[in-house]
Amino acid sequence: MATPNDYQTYCASVDACQGMAWGSFIGDAVAMPVHWYYDRAALKRDYGIVQDYVAPRNPHPGSILWRSSYSPVNERGDILRDQAQFWGQPEIHYHQFLRAGENTLNLQLAKALLDSLVARGGYDGDDYLQRYVEFMLTPGKHRDTYVEEYHRKFFTAYARGAVPRRCAGSDIHIGGLAHVGTLCAFFAADVVAAREAVRQHIGLTHRSSEVITAGDALARMLCSVTAGGDLRESIFKHGSDWFSNRKAEQWSRDPDEVVVGHRISPACYIADAFPASLYLAWKYADDFEAGIIANTSVGGDNCHRGAVVGALLGAAVGMARIPGRFVHGLYDAGRLQPQVESLIANRPRQGGAAINGPASS
């Protein structure tokens, strides 16, 4: 028979998982208008301190779309469509057509993963890949101008006839961790199943041991916090290859813009972006709002970093302590809420079968 303590533990776990799932989306959406601002003076000039959801606007003074290009092999690789006209132009905002509170492409795809987990009752890589391909090839589906490198590599291989399971390309960017919060919200404290699902899922699109290793560490942290562990202790225990007690002591003497900017780069490469995420989650472990704003303010790849920081902080503080404006103001919140509730209500029991289909290669 269940005891009051069992019920309290269950409620705390649900609160942590909801916070983790919503935190990923919130961290990305708050940072979206100032994504890839490396000039912080320009960021503050154009947007001030971003504390709420704001719509993006042109010009983006640091945009490098002017030197980016993608030519699809054929229709099976045409993932830019009407957005292709903006590639190669100066000062184009990466997310110019998104609305305030709307998620960037990688987090929109996290919603496709969420739909797959709910529909299949577990993780099914083939089902996700089918949804991924359909999503990316449907005209006007996401309206995001920028499409990250791993998508371009995947659909180049797909256009050349490779089956989806064989389309992953080499990639070492933190965008590969954007879905870990969604997966771990489903598996909760079942760390064995969560780690296997995260390994499989990242491997579908990222042929990178570096990204998979970081994803595995993140999964262990999130599962630990869901089981009642302290966030800071979990970061040190499972993320010591990237962030340690010694670094925490040294880095905490400096402002955030010195830590993420001088000690480590604010760029997207996992070797810098993951320790930057862990530092921000460690520093603001008890304050979701302050952590999300700090991550946004230091610029760089703050969207994908925000998905990681948001998942960690959301798990630590729980859904009940995430400011309501971040929840209700998130674009498509009305659709997201019942899906997150269903995801968590139908999560497997410890050790239950919840990973379907063949392992990724």
Q: Is residue 116 part of a domain?
A: yes
Q: Is residue 201 part of a domain?
A: yes
Left if phi > 0, otherwise alpha if psi is -120 to 50, otherwise beta: which for 327? alpha
How many of the other CB atoms lie within 10 Å of CB of 339? 17
Q: What's the total number of domains in the chain? A: 1
- Are 256 and 250 within 8 A, CB to CB? no
Q: Is the dihedral of CA 312, 318, 324, 328 positive or negative?
A: positive
228 burial type by CB count under 10 A (0-12 exposed, 13-18 middle, 19+ buried) = exposed
What are the residue ranges of helices labelled H in 88-165? 105-120, 125-137, 149-159
Q: Is residue 108 part of a domain?
A: yes
Helix, strand, coil percentages in the chain from 3-state DSSP, rounded to 5: 60, 5, 35
Residue range of the domain that includes 223? 4-354
Q: Is residue 306 part of a domain?
A: yes
CATH code (residue 32): 1.10.4080.10
Left if phi > 0, otherwise alpha if psi is -120 to 50, otherwise beta: which for 351? left
Distances in Å between the Cα of 18 and the Cα atoms of 30, 161, 264 are 18, 39, 30
Q: Is residue 235 part of a domain?
A: yes
Cis peptide upstream of residue 338 (ω within 30 degrees of 0): no
Report the C-alpha gap between 50 and 297 in whole angstroms.
7
Q: Is residue 359 part of a domain?
A: no
Q: Is residue 361 part of a domain?
A: no
Q: Is residue 360 part of a domain?
A: no
Residue found by looking up tokens 């971040």 in the block:
326
Per-residue pLDDT tens listing for the chain (361 residues): 445 555 456 667 999 999 999 999 999 999 999 999 999 999 999 999 999 999 999 999 999 999 988 999 999 999 999 999 999 999 999 999 999 999 999 999 999 999 999 999 999 999 999 999 999 999 999 999 999 999 999 999 999 999 999 999 999 999 999 999 999 999 998 999 999 999 999 999 999 999 999 999 999 999 999 999 999 999 999 999 999 999 999 999 999 999 999 999 999 999 999 999 999 999 999 999 999 999 999 999 999 999 999 999 999 999 999 999 999 999 999 999 999 999 999 877 665 557 875 544 3
Nearest to 310 by CA among 231, 250, 233: 231
